[in-house]
Amino acid sequence: MTGEQLKALRERRGLTQTQMAAFVNELTGRRYDKQRLSKWETGKEALPREVMGRLLLLDLERPESPLPRRGTTVAVGLQKGGTAKTATSINLAFILARAGNRVLLVDADPQGNATVHVGVPQTDVVALTEAGKVLYHALMGKTPLDTVIRPTSVDGLDVVPSSIALASADTELPGNLTNAQTALAEMLDGVRERYDVIVIDCAPNLGAVTINALTAADYVLVPCQAEPHAILGVSAFLDTVAKIQRRLNPRLEVLGILPTMVNPRQTQDRSSLDDIQRLWGDSRRVFPPVPRATIYAQAAGANVITLDADIGAPGVESYAAIAAALLTAMGRLQETVDAA
């Protein structure tokens, strides 16, 4: 958030600098004054990351609306591993929930990392798998989705947990000729009206479950590590998305490409960012890159959501930009529905 953006936010709220400083103090528990706020707005001092993170969330807040919830669905995918799909999914889900949306996170990766990171202990994952209450069982029609959905510690955020059992679905789904590619969409149809947004964390492959996720989605977000092999993977993945659009899901749109784990001091990372812009900058939205930062590894090691641990973590600007783009797209989608 730049000083100009901070000033614009203050003016939208009709606050003086003194009033805005008091408001920031209420948000953060700090003691900033008008002079400090003025320095932030003019760029003489950098806006503290904690303040910036909280204000970005504030700017995304969902106003009270009589409109029904639609369960707009975004799949986060790329067939290459190690591109921060799970970190992107959970932080996006978190920021949307904190902005006042009802969010369902669907862990569609047999590794189950998203499940653990939103607070489901590994021991519980084992127990849920044995009890038939993970995504695999709902997807294969063995149990209702309602029995699988679990709340998390984040207000407004629920999760459909996953486990290694889901790996079997990639071989079992193709044998189901009635809904081999639409099982996930049909399953989610029963709960869409409860949620504003459904975020699907896809596996790093193009198996049957990932195809189901793309068939169920309104939008797809593509995290891409700033390195050549990941960029090649994006091209192949976008080809698959185009096939899904033609054959199975004509409403699917590419929300954008998110460069991840970027170290701007590295020549290769800067070169890869240039390549991403050159290849897709004119035809796709390329979101601000998420920098490489140790807090992501620390959060993963502690099985927590990075932004829940530190709302000012590097990359919060990127996730806020994605959330804003998605909420804007949801507004256009609602206008289309209303006009129909």
Of residues 300 and 331, more confidence is placed in 300
Are 43 and 94 members of one domain? no
State whether residue 170 is helix, strand or coil: helix
Q: What is the CATH number of the domain that holds 109?
A: 3.40.50.300
Are 29 and 76 members of one domain? no
What is the rounded average pLDDT of the residues 69-90? 93
Beta-sheet strands, E only, within 140-218: 150-151, 157-160, 197-202
Query: b/e per residue, 1-36, with b = 16+ CB within 10 A?
Result: bebeebbebbeeeebebeebbbbbeeebeeebeeeb
In a domain, 337, yes or no: no
d(CA 242, CA 139): 24
In a domain, 111, yes or no: yes
Are 30 and 112 members of one domain? no
What is the rounded average pLDDT of the residues 89-102? 95
What is the band of 340 on the pLDDT scale with cuts at 50, 70, 90?
A: very low
Reported pTM: 0.90
Q: List 200's β-bridge partners, or say none.
A: 75, 106
218-235: per-residue pLDDT in tens? 999 999 998 888 898 999
Are 121 and 186 members of one domain? yes
What is the band of 333 on the pLDDT scale with cuts at 50, 70, 90?
A: low
Give the least confident one: 51-60, 103-112, 156-165: 51-60
- Residue 208: per-residue pLDDT: 94
Given a cut of 90, is residue 112 above it in pLDDT? yes
What's the domain range around 34? 3-47
Are 174 and 28 members of one domain? no
d(CA 247, CA 230): 26
- Residue 336: per-residue pLDDT: 45
Residue 112's alpha-carbon distances to 92, 199, 235, in angstroms, are 17, 14, 26
Given a cut of 70, is residue 339 above it in pLDDT? no
Phi, psi of 249 (to 5 degrees): -145, 80
Give the least confident one: 48-57, 66-75, 212-221, 232-241: 66-75
Query: Which bin fits 324, alpha (ψ -120 to 50), beta or left (φ > 0)?
Result: alpha
Are 17 and 109 members of one domain? no
Q: List 253's β-bridge partners, or say none.
A: 219
Chain centroid to Cα 181, Å, comes to 23
Are 148 and 253 members of one domain? yes
In a domain, 339, yes or no: no
258-311: per-residue pLDDT in tens? 999 999 899 999 999 999 999 999 999 999 999 999 999 899 888 899 999 999
Whose CA is closest to 69, among 254, 320, 337, 323? 337
- Residue 107: per-residue pLDDT: 98
Are 30 and 82 members of one domain? no
Given a cut of 90, is residue 54 above it in pLDDT? no
Whether the CB-CB separation of 119 and 289 falls below 8 Å is answered with no
In terms of Cβ atoms closer than 10 Å to its own Cβ (0-12, 13-18, 19+), residue 132 is middle
The Cα angle at residue 222 between residues 162 and 103, in degrees rounded to 5? 50
Read off the tokens for 111.
């590794």
Whose CA is closest to 181, among 205, 216, 233, 152? 216
Q: List 267's β-bridge partners, or say none.
A: none
| Nearest 10 degrees: Cα torsion 121, 203, 146, 102 | 90
d(CA 90, CA 160): 12
Q: How many domains does the chain have?
A: 2
Are 18 and 117 members of one domain? no
- Residue 57: per-residue pLDDT: 84
1-44: per-residue pLDDT in tens? 888 989 988 898 899 999 999 999 988 888 899 999 999 999 99
Are 152 and 272 members of one domain? yes
What is the band of 334 on the pLDDT scale with cuts at 50, 70, 90?
A: low
Given a cut of 70, is residue 178 above it in pLDDT? no
Are 176 and 282 members of one domain? yes
